[in-house]
Amino acid sequence: MVCVTTLCGSALFSGPLLGSDLRRTPIVEAVKSARPSVVNIKGEKTLGASDPQVLQGDVGRRVNGMGTGVVIDPAGYIITNHHVIDGVREIQVTTADEHEYIAKLVSRDPETDLAVIKIDPTEPLPVVKIGTSRDLMPGESVVAVGNAYGYEHTATRGIISALHRAVQVSDAQYYEDLIQTDASINPGNSGGPLLNIDGEMIGINVAVRAGAQGIGFAIPVDKAVSVAADLLAAHGLQRVWHGVQLEADGPQAGLAPVVGSVADESPAKLAGLESGDVITRIGNLEVERALDFHRAILGLDVGQSTDLLVRRGDETVNLTLTVAKVPGYLKPAVGPYWELLGVELKPTPDDEFRQNYRTRYRGGLSVTAVRPDSPAASHGIREGDVLVGMHIWETISFKNVDYVVDRVRSHSDSASLNPVKFYVLRGSETLYGYLPIPVAMGKTVQR
């Protein structure tokens, strides 16, 4: 009896425990593979009407915001929701290895509620595996990963409940063609990945139906990466020029992008690229979608070259592309305060101002853009603000701003005026700060 027991014990415990293998399900592997590319985002922000979880009475209230992002390039480019970073004074990012960074906003698209931000990591970051949303099936298993309620890297599982949902989350935010899932998507999950069972990102988590159980939504990944590619292309055009216009990603995932057109006398033209070429490699990066091409270009400086592998009909062609300085006619037109202060301003119509703001101010100038690393950006001015005053003067028109800037830059006691106290309307709040005005460049640009 003892012998039998000993033999049985030996048989039971001599090999590896089966439970370990049984527990390592596809869900476990999917979370494990995606987790290193998921980052947590936080920072103080002003609640806006476009925030999917905001209550109407909370618009304009400052809160400690939280959200999630996904690494799409080893150099630190991260995709997230626009509403996650909108109104955030300082975008704080924590990577999966618990390194903390301050992110810069690269570009955003409020209409699709997507944004790209950038950190400068100490070493290359893991990149999420990008799948496709073209072949999704209602009923298939999915996993949502994110910073739910501040609990980092929370994973929840569910299924795809439906496709092509249209959702109105507020007067300011409307979504089309969303993925509906019963995987729990909570505040803080926004901007994180929705994964399939293979660990591929198939969507960007965006919203939950208030008051409903098990109804969450995600932006399809094909749309998300297409928008991200456009945002990176626009950002790249601020630095270098190549002259390639790519067609939209093809009908099947994993197909390299097709060259739609090549600008005359451009670097691409000089390199020998032609309309209809299929770019399959740039440098050491395999190109499977337009996003890959544009993120590779972002790593190049003016005058730098990279190898291209192109499919042209039945032939494979090797080319060398040398990017150039952006021609003046391609640079975006900006107003007189862009170089000086880093803001683009436009007058706010009287009726619009009275309708949107109940305030003692008579009017203001809407901030339509803020240049990263500018005086305006580093001192708290945000896109969407309305500038209503500088020092003791109102700012209803450009002439008002011209007067203040000229006074600061030419007045004998400019030191007592500079930095200039400014006032902005943001939501239901009136905020103020201090904006330094450069004084070494002469007077303001002439109108």
pLDDT along the chain (447 residues), means of 10: 44 52 92 98 68 47 80 97 86 96 89 93 96 96 96 96 90 86 93 98 86 87 93 82 81 71 93 96 94 92 96 96 84 67 86 79 88 83 91 88 82 68 88 80 41
| 389 contacts 395 by C-beta, under 8 angstroms | yes
| 372 contacts 104 by C-beta, under 8 angstroms | yes
| HEC-encoded secondary structure of 117-175 | EECCCCCCCCCCCECCCCCCCCCCEEEEEEEECCEEEEEEEEEEEEEEEEEECCCCCEE
In angstroms, the first-to-last Cα distance of the chain is 103
Structural domain spans, the chain: 30-118, 141-223, 241-326, 343-435
Return the CATH number of the domain spanning residue range 30-118: 2.40.10.10
As given in the structure block, the two tokens for residue 157 are 């599982």
391 catalytically annotated? no
User: Would 30-118 and 343-435 be classified into the same CATH topology?
Assistant: no
In whole angstroms, what is the distance from residue 41 CA to residue 115 CA? 13
Q: Residue 81: which residues within 8 A CB-CB, separation 6 or more?
A: 67, 113, 114, 115, 190, 191, 204, 206
**pLDDT for the residue 444:** 42
As given in the structure block, the two tokens for residue 284 are 């050491």
**pLDDT for the residue 56:** 42
- Choosing among 2.30.42.10, 3.20.20.140, 2.60.40.10, 3.20.20.150, the CATH entry for 343-435 is 2.30.42.10
261 catalytically annotated? no
Q: What is the 8-class DSSP label of residue 396?
A: S
* Class of the CATH-defined domain 241-326: mainly beta
292 catalytically annotated? no
Q: What are phi and psi of 241, to 5 degrees?
A: -130, 135
In Å, how far are 69, 204, 221, 281 from 431, measured between CA atoms? 28, 32, 37, 49
The active-site residue out of 83, 153, 235, 294 is: 83
Q: What are phi and psi of 341, to 5 degrees?
A: -115, -25
- Choosing among 3.40.190.10, 1.10.10.10, 3.90.79.10, 2.40.10.10, the CATH entry for 141-223 is 2.40.10.10
Report, in angstroms and rounded to the nearest whole number, the Rg of the chain calculated over CA atoms.
26
Closest C-alpha among 126, 78, 124, 82 to residue 102: 78
**pLDDT for the residue 196:** 98
The active-site residue out of 51, 86, 113, 222 is: 113
**pLDDT for the residue 329:** 63
Residues 12, 17, 23, CA angle at the centre, nearest 5°?
A: 140
Q: What are phi and psi of 297, to 5 degrees?
A: -65, -35
**pLDDT for the residue 4:** 45
**pLDDT for the residue 161:** 98
CA atoms within 13 A on the CB side of 154: 19
| HEC-encoded secondary structure of 314-362 | CEEEEEEEECECCCHHHCCCCCCCCCCCCEEEEECCHHHHHHHCCCCCC
Q: Is 402 helix (H, G, I), strand (E, B) or coil?
A: helix
The active-site residue out of 37, 133, 170, 190 is: 190
**pLDDT for the residue 57:** 45
For 411-427, b/e burial (b = at least 16 CB within 10 A) is eeeeeebbebebbbbbb
